[in-house]
Amino acid sequence: MSKWDKKYIELCEEILEKGVRVKNRTGIDTIKIPFKSFEFDLEEEFPILTTKFVAFKSAVLEMLWFYQAKSNDVRWLQDRGVKIWNEWEIDENGHYQDRVFPKEYAHTIGTAYGYIVNKFNLTDKLIKKIKETPTDRRMIMSLWQDDYLETAVLPSCVWNSMWDVTDGKLNAIVTCRSNDVPLGMPFNICQYAVLIHMLAQVTGLKPGKLYYNAKDLHIYVNQIDGIKEQIKRYKELGDLPAPKLWLNPEIKDFYDFDNSKELKDIKLINYEHHGKISMPVAV
């Protein structure tokens, strides 16, 4: 059965029982705990929740938007039916809420995520190091660049990943500055698990472990009912077997993986779940 569901439900119960209610920039209070760390053995299980449906294709396409397309243009996602960044899109006049951006940032999220990946060529540098100097202790992708924070609509939440090769396996240590547990966390963990698998395949390695470190793990107060429903499902229905991740074995170059709406080269096999739970996103 899914080990990730058990960890996740325990986390949600801890937040609801021991968390502190705080105000934040969105105007919707959260219940939060300060920090939590998780470890996933990717040879043992692919970490995606089964107690609720997680939109696998949307999660993977968002990750590919960052690291493969290296884009901050929201239209790239919209063309693939992914709407998760619509609320943060700078309009055609350079406006977002009460902020004004250079017009060149219209239809983007400003200088965050894929913009930083492209600006500093992070993906290519990482792949080169994994292939050529796998014992390098400086294999890091940092999306937190101080000079670009003011022109980012939302500074990167998952802002840092450190990469390691040990015993022929590729591992990643991922750091998140702020984690929306009902919506963001299930996506983030799934995304970086897929990224490890993809990079391992194109560098001749096996997928190893994902170490996920998160600060400010929170549940918005208007998401509590949805989380309670998920906890109830776990207790009454249990979790389900974890699915398997399939990557097209013919792909040897990270940029050759299909990033169309169909995601032909990246699929989940036998993903069973207990159905969707609608929860609002705070902007």
Q: What are the catalytic residues?
A: 157
- Helix ranges (H only) for the chain are 3-18, 56-67, 74-78, 114-119, 122-132, 184-202, 224-237
Report how far residue 269's alpha carbon sits from residue 188's, in angstroms, rounded to the nearest whole number: 19
Task: Name the residue among 279, 217, 231 with its Cα closest to residue 18.
Answer: 217
For the chain, counts of helices (H) and of strands (E) = 7, 11
| Per-residue buried b or exposed e for 207-220, using 16+ beta carbons within 10 Å of the residue's own CB | bbbbbbebebbbbb
CA within 13 Å, CB half, 232: 7
